[in-house]
Structure 1
Amino acid sequence: MRVCGTGFLLVFTILILTLGTQAQKTKRTRKPLFKQFTSKSTTEATTITSPIPPDIPLPKITMPTTPTPTTSTPTTPPSTSTTTPSTTTPSTTTITTPTTTTPPYLNDTTDIIRDNIVSYTYDMKKQANIMHLSRFAANQSFYRLTNYSLEEHFSCGYKTISKNSQGRYEKNSINKEIEIPITNGAALPSNTEAIITSCRTSKGKVLQIGPQTFVNLKNQTKRQTSKKKRPNVLMIGFNGMTQTMFSSAFKEINLERWFKLQKFRRIGENYTYNLMALASGYSPSTITNLESTASVPFIWKQYASQGYVTALGEDISFIRDLSLDFKEQPVDYYLRPFLQGISDSVELRNNTPSIEKLLTSDYVLDYGEKLLKMCVNSSQPFFGLLWTNTSTEKAKENNFVDYFKRFEKLGLFKNTIVVFFSDHACRPFLNIRLPDWFRKKYPTKIRNLAVNNNRLSSSHDMYLTLQHILELGKDSPKKLSKIASCPTCKSLFEEIPKNRTCQSASQSENYCECADYMKLSAKDAHQLPLGVLLVESLNQYLDQNKLLDICEEFTLNSVDSVYERKSYYRSRLRSYRVRFLTQPHMASFLATVYYNLIPQTLFNVNVSSFLRLNRYVDQSKCLIDDEKRKFCICRKEKTERSLRKDRKPISNVTLEAKVSAPTRNISILIDNLLEKVEELEKNSLLRRQLIKEEILSIKKLLATSQAPPS
């Protein structure tokens, strides 16, 4: 009986389990991606080098017949999703297998690694970019979002990032664009330079949103100005990177054939000044006070005038730091408007929280790679300048080396002068690589460049070098013209003097010597009369240059910071770097000076090396000389200051003569002396004390003269 009961219970349990299993089959099961592969072959499957098997069930693709603007929200798992399918959907056509009229889907290894649902190839015959849809990438994207394989339809579309007639991006224009549906194998219009694609399921779930830029062949054959063989020029800059950092990040690249300018120094406080100096030959003060870029002699303008194709690409951080903008597109291929459109896209920002991190080197180097594919083997030479703020660690993460390996495979070094450079607070670098034919053709210039590896150099020298390259490519080369910002600067193909100083390289003492400075506490800084002495030096400069008649005399407002140079030797002569504010108009200066502790004086002051940190162009219109303008705040009206400045101290005899004069004359004399005290505020402790003694003497005499007779 017990056996029968046990057998009955066993049969009943098996029956319940069987019914439960059949019931579960009617529901959607949660299975890992790798469990979804089937052995069913498809005509689309191709052999791919990937750890994921290629026979995954692929989703169906739908292509809307009408453009449909969409608004997306951040994607969430199905259990918490609030996305509701639209009640009105466009008619769709389902593609289950490819036909002879439909191009095959792209299953490229690179695109699978990058997970791009939409990818592109360039058709040289059509001179257009062809769009491809990857079902594999769509399935991967859906699984990462939901942990399910994609069994429903999906569709993709794109919005074009456009420019106005001046080649500029107009704010919010990307968000007004109508989305155009993507058909697999379709060609983009030949004038398309940037788009933002979006892919969704039929229920509205966002699978992927991504921007893409293009470098298209333009019908702009320029007049060739020379029959000589001319090299391409490509400059790639990195902000905040040193030579050691660069060598570490690019250790897989052979740098033996590169010229390394070991004493390359910056000329300004930040990379905007240094990059602009390299591109224009201008000094930091000139750059600060530019009102427009129309008249700036940018180096790419000069290359364009000699028949070069020109390109400029910088990441989004440079766009924000540079206060100036170009009124018209400055070069043939210009990345900036498209990065502005990418940054401006509401749809992209809503679905990409880390969009700020993406707008860096990836886009710049991708753009550079596309430029090389289009131009590196062309009969028409090109000039390109690329700049990124990516750090060293980010450089390693982003596989910079892979980019440059691809650059080399494209033939970059065969006919291109390549310049790697950086802006770093203390240790910037400049590396140059020349084509073999260029080395053989100009041996003397190569020797000079090798000698200059250990000579002091600056961005102005590199600017002249770029001009020199242009001249060498001319049928009748001319001697290089001097630049106003640095008359003694030279092309790096000319030997730089061994005893070159910072001043002769147009480098401020504030940045030329790479030394360690320690910030002083507010208490220690207050004990030093550096601010007073520096303002006195400024006023002496105005006096020596006979500018006091038209320029206001400075008074000290405050000392912002004082840095002392670290030294292993005890000396009365110390080096300080001082940032201070003056009146009128809160003029801001930065100066590096030597201070003698015992007599409490400055030693060998060079006022010309002082940097004016804020804009002053509107305050110094009474002067033409660019060097003197930064030290001048024009007077609103002419005064008798030129007469008063040479006035000698009043003697006792003169004071006694004044006693007999009317009282009002003595009052005027007091007012003049008080004004003199205010104007010379803190400029000289000794002079101030003497003037105060004079005032006290006058007041005493005045009191005596007004006292009733005894």
Structure 2
Amino acid sequence: MTMIKMKYQAHIEFNMSKRLRKLKMKQIKVTALLMTMASLVAILLIYYLNWPIQRNAISSSTKDYVASLPMVHVPLRQIYNDVSNESSEIFYERRQEQMLDTPGCKIPMAMVNYFQYLNNSKSKHSSCSKRGIFLYKTGVDKIRVYIKNNIMKRHTKRFEDFKCCYRFLLVPKKLIYERMKLRYTNCKTLYHGLILDLETDFINVKCFQNISNNVSQEIYEDWFAFIKKINKTKVLRKDCQHNYNVLMIGLDSMSLPRLAQTMTRTIDHLYENFWLLFKGYHKVEDNTFPNLMAVLTGKNLTAITNLCTNRMDRCNELMIWSDFKRDGYITAYGEDYLRLPDTFTNRYAYNNSPTDHYLRPFFLQGEVDKFNKSLVCSGKEASGKHLLDYALDFANTYKREKFFGLFWMNSFSHNMNSRPQDADKMFEDFFNKLKYTGALFNTFVIFFSDHGIRFGEHRWRTNAYYDDRMPFLYMSVPNVFAEKLPLKLNSLAINQNRLITPYDLYSTLVEIKNISGCRNHTKTLPECCPGCQSLFEIVTENRTCSNVNIHEKWCSCHDLNPLPPNDKEGNKSAVIAVTHINNMIKTIETMPCWGCMKLSLRNIIRIHFYYSRAKENLYYVVAFAVTPGNVLYEATIERNNKTMDVIGPISIISPYRGLGKCTFKFKDRLFCMCQKKGKC
């Protein structure tokens, strides 16, 4: 019994000890929890007490710029609030802020509400067709074939067998593309898993099906563009340690506000990857050609017209890509939607390839407008997608060498029917892939446009006056450049909030070329803009439009003050503009038996005024409709004392509907309402 009692007593003591240990553990856990909660409360209290100080510190500004300070990036979402769920009344009643605010130039934050004109939901027609055959680059000059039979069977009848072949587009250096038929190699058998040698940049794939004895029918056709690597013949300097590449991606008719509203994924990517945004980038002329040529040559439209009309091949020596090529760079140029008369067409067309790689022959095989011109297709893929894929392959192929490439996209943004939001993910994917190729290590990437939308119903609003004049400019600076030349990077950061022009961008490209060539060079200034400069130097905040050769007609460094449509002086300015057009019409040459009708003022859409910087002159900006034709124009009228004169060209702001076809010159069509003469 004693033994039993002892065991029982030991059992009780063991259980008591176990309970005490559990109790101590609970006490420890409770104590730790209380300490954690107390710490969190203390942290929140400290944050609460210090938050106003931090907020004020962030919002404060300084005029002293230090090279070692990090760049501050402001999200575009903070500048352009999402207005998709707001009424237009609320949108236009917001307090006006400044897009650019310097002593020399103040541009108001005037933004067109593009959601009012475009449905931002995903388009039902966002793709050209289902691709059944895929070609992938597996090496420098090897292509692998992948065929999806389940998709290909949709193109066949009764699921019968089909046969495919491939051929290369031959592009001789001396070829007038528009006047000669495109030539190809023989079509060779193509099958799943085939690895073929890349012979030229462009591949055409065709598939056929037998429909009867010895009779076949084409059931499938597609196009692919790759970079066939060129072996350089010029020996590069090995003693130069600063070799930088340039890749330029352009979007036609895309203002910064339009980009911010329609391509939010792309904007987020640029912000998250610390791209520089130049908010004061300003156009210098009306349409694409002069603004793009200012970037590529540093010359204005007058000089280009005199030097290059009908002899663009000879003028190719003036292009910035030719300067890079002379320094041993591989060059490329590509542009889609060739039916547009905006860039290198008509009097400024190239008969020979201007660069080492030239995408124009690829699109000459046939682009097709679809869905009310909201999508442009080449084969089974959108033309814009072909363009970006070609640009990516170009950068990846030559990333260990020196390259300069410009790729200009028209198809997703040229007019109001275009849907840039359908290209948003495409651009995000492109920039992501470009990042992971390793090409950005020593490459400047410039993402830019020429101007905003110039035609359409939205141009009737005052905000569109600024939207047309303010394209966008982003720049990705290679890390190696930032490490070696921090002062130049600091200048770029400061110039994000300065008035900037395409001439400045040209000077910047010239300096990149000179730095890469290890030259101790003098400043290269555009001959038509002595006040312009490289963005690697700080631009003065006192810069005005007149300092950088921006005509008063295009300058937007002012607020527009509204006038009522019945204002006497405002109405007089509209009458003067119509009289000016009628005087122009008298000099227009037309086809035999045709003439231009005299125009009359139908009604005034809007009238605004502003003063010159010195308050010496008064300017009227008037939008009006004429009859016959009901065409809308916008004019700037200068009032000096008692005289009033039209300055700069008069802009058409209504969609061009094919009027004026009886004239010989395209520019005359915008003002001529054709009428057949009775006695002819």
Say whether the fold is shared (TM-score over 0.5): yes
Structure 2 residue aligned with 1:594: 638
What is the root-mean-square deviation of aligned Cα atoms in Å?
A: 4.2
The question of 1:263 aligning with 2:280 is answered yes
Q: 1:207 to 1:463 in 2, by over 3 A?
A: same
Q: TM-score, normalised by structure 1?
A: 0.56
Indicate if the aligned counterparts of 1:315 and 1:359 stay in contact, CA closer than 8 A. Answer: no
The question of 1:198 aligning with 2:206 is answered yes
Separation of aligned partners in 1, 2:165 and 2:553: 53
Separation of aligned partners in 2, 1:210 and 1:507: 45
Structure 1 residue aligned with 2:11: none
Separation of aligned partners in 1, 2:357 and 2:574: 53
Aligned residues: 453
Separation of aligned partners in 2, 1:192 and 1:115: 25
Tell me by how many angstroms 1:413 deviates. Answer: 2.4
What amino acid maps onto 2:429 in structure 1?
Answer: D
Gaps of 5+ in 1: 1-112, 345-351, 539-556, 581-588, 615-710
Indicate if the aligned counterparts of 1:339 and 1:359 stay in contact, CA closer than 8 A. Answer: no
What amino acid maps onto 1:375 in structure 2?
Answer: Y
Separation of aligned partners in 2, 1:563 and 1:505: 31
The 3-state SS of whatever aligns with 2:228 is coil
The question of 1:285 aligning with 2:302 is answered yes
What amino acid maps onto 2:177 in structure 1?
Answer: Y
Q: Which has the higher contact order (CA 8 A, sep 6+)?
A: 2
The 3-state SS of whatever aligns with 1:250 is helix
Tell me by how many angstroms 1:371 deviates. Answer: 0.9
Structure 2 residue aligned with 1:325: 349
The 3-state SS of whatever aligns with 1:419 is strand
**Given the alignment, which residue of 417, 422, 436 partners 1:409?**
436
Structure 2 residue aligned with 1:471: 514
**Given the alignment, which residue of 278, 289, 293 partners 1:272?**
289
Q: 1:130 to 1:254 in 2, by over 3 A?
A: closer
Separation of aligned partners in 2, 1:397 and 1:201: 38
**Given the alignment, which residue of 227, 238, 252 partners 1:239?**
252
**Given the alignment, which residue of 108, 130, 135 partners 1:120?**
135
Structure 2 residue aligned with 1:173: 181
Indicate the structure with greater strand content: 2
What aligned pairs does 1:277-356 form with structure 2 within 5 A after superposition? 277-289=294-306, 290-291=308-309, 292-293=311-312, 294-296=314-316, 297-317=318-338, 320-322=341-343, 323=345, 324-343=348-367, 355=378
The 3-state SS of whatever aligns with 2:530 is coil
The 3-state SS of whatever aligns with 1:166 is coil
Structure 2 residue aligned with 1:139: 150
Tell me by how many angstroms 1:368 deviates. Answer: 0.8
Indicate if the aligned counterparts of 1:228 and 1:474 stay in contact, CA closer than 8 A. Answer: no
Structure 2 residue aligned with 1:25: none
Structure 1 residue aligned with 2:229: 217
Tell me by how many angstroms 1:431 deviates. Answer: 0.9
Indicate if the aligned counterparts of 2:396 and 2:437 stay in contact, CA closer than 8 A. Answer: yes
What amino acid maps onto 2:501 in structure 1?
Answer: S
Indicate if the aligned counterparts of 2:170 and 2:185 stay in contact, CA closer than 8 A. Answer: no
Separation of aligned partners in 2, 1:534 and 1:567: 19
Structure 2 residue aligned with 1:83: none
Q: 1:252 to 1:526 in 2, by over 3 A?
A: closer
The question of 1:373 aligning with 2:396 is answered yes
Tell me by how many angstroms 1:191 deviates. Answer: 3.0
What amino acid maps onto 2:322 in structure 1?
Answer: K
What aligned pairs does 1:634-653 form with structure 2 within 5 A after superposition? none
Can you list the C-alpha shifts for 1:172-197, whole angstroms capped at 9, x where unaligned? Answer: 62488754432555554543221221
Structure 1 outlier segments of 4+, above 6 Å:
514-521, 532-535, 557-563
What amino acid maps onto 2:394 in structure 1?
Answer: L
Indicate if the aligned counterparts of 1:564 and 1:575 stay in contact, CA closer than 8 A. Answer: no
Separation of aligned partners in 1, 2:601 and 2:303: 24
Separation of aligned partners in 2, 1:517 and 1:382: 48
Separation of aligned partners in 1, 2:357 and 2:288: 22
Can you list the C-alpha shifts for 1:247-297, whole angstroms capped at 9, x where unaligned? Answer: 424144142512211111001111222112111111123334432221351
The 3-state SS of whatever aligns with 1:413 is helix
Q: 1:318 to 1:471 in 2, by over 3 A?
A: farther
The question of 1:610 aligning with 2:648 is answered yes
Indicate if the aligned counterparts of 1:267 and 1:284 stay in contact, CA closer than 8 A. Answer: no
Structure 2 residue aligned with 1:54: none
Indicate if the aligned counterparts of 1:266 and 1:458 stay in contact, CA closer than 8 A. Answer: yes
Separation of aligned partners in 1, 2:225 and 2:176: 15
Indicate if the aligned counterparts of 1:267 and 1:458 stay in contact, CA closer than 8 A. Answer: yes
Tell me by how many angstroms 1:574 deviates. Answer: 5.1
Indicate if the aligned counterparts of 2:155 and 2:220 stay in contact, CA closer than 8 A. Answer: no
Q: Percent identity?
A: 26
Separation of aligned partners in 2, 1:272 and 1:412: 29
The question of 1:253 aligning with 2:269 is answered yes
Q: 1:497 to 1:120 in 2, by over 3 A?
A: same
Can you list the C-alpha shifts for 1:22-71, whole angstroms capped at 9, x where unaligned? Answer: xxxxxxxxxxxxxxxxxxxxxxxxxxxxxxxxxxxxxxxxxxxxxxxxxx
Q: 1:171 to 1:185 in 2, by over 3 A?
A: farther
What amino acid maps onto 2:536 in structure 1?
Answer: F
What amino acid maps onto 1:530 in structure 2?
Answer: I
Q: 1:164 to 1:190 in 2, by over 3 A?
A: same
Q: 1:174 to 1:325 in 2, by over 3 A?
A: same
Separation of aligned partners in 2, 1:116 and 1:192: 22
Gaps of 5+ in 2: 1-127, 369-374, 414-418, 453-467, 585-597, 625-632, 653-680
Separation of aligned partners in 2, 1:316 and 1:119: 23
The 3-state SS of whatever aligns with 1:327 is coil
Q: 1:246 to 1:316 in 2, by over 3 A?
A: same
Indicate if the aligned counterparts of 1:362 and 1:398 stay in contact, CA closer than 8 A. Answer: no
The 3-state SS of whatever aligns with 1:339 is helix
Can you list the C-alpha shifts for 1:625-676, whole angstroms capped at 9, x where unaligned? Answer: xxxxxxxxxxxxxxxxxxxxxxxxxxxxxxxxxxxxxxxxxxxxxxxxxxxx
Tell me by how many angstroms 1:236 deviates. Answer: 0.7
Separation of aligned partners in 2, 1:275 and 1:208: 38
What amino acid maps onto 1:367 in structure 2?
Answer: Y
Structure 2 residue aligned with 1:27: none
Indicate if the aligned counterparts of 1:128 and 1:187 stay in contact, CA closer than 8 A. Answer: no
Q: 1:356 to 1:526 in 2, by over 3 A?
A: farther
Tell me by how many angstroms 1:209 deviates. Answer: 1.3
The 3-state SS of whatever aligns with 2:445 is strand
Q: 1:269 to 1:357 in 2, by over 3 A?
A: farther
The question of 1:483 aligning with 2:526 is answered yes
Structure 2 residue aligned with 1:162: 170
Tell me by how many angstroms 1:460 deviates. Answer: 0.4
What amino acid maps onto 1:499 in structure 2?
Answer: N
The 3-state SS of whatever aligns with 1:253 is helix
Indicate if the aligned counterparts of 2:276 and 2:474 stay in contact, CA closer than 8 A. Answer: yes
Q: 1:205 to 1:459 in 2, by over 3 A?
A: same
**Given the alignment, which residue of 585, 589, 608 partners 1:566?**
608
Q: 1:501 to 1:447 in 2, by over 3 A?
A: same
**Given the alignment, which residue of 339, 356, 362 partners 2:385?**
362
Tell me by how many angstroms 1:563 deviates. Answer: 8.0
Q: TM-score, normalised by structure 2?
A: 0.58
Separation of aligned partners in 2, 1:412 and 1:193: 20
Separation of aligned partners in 2, 1:433 and 1:142: 45
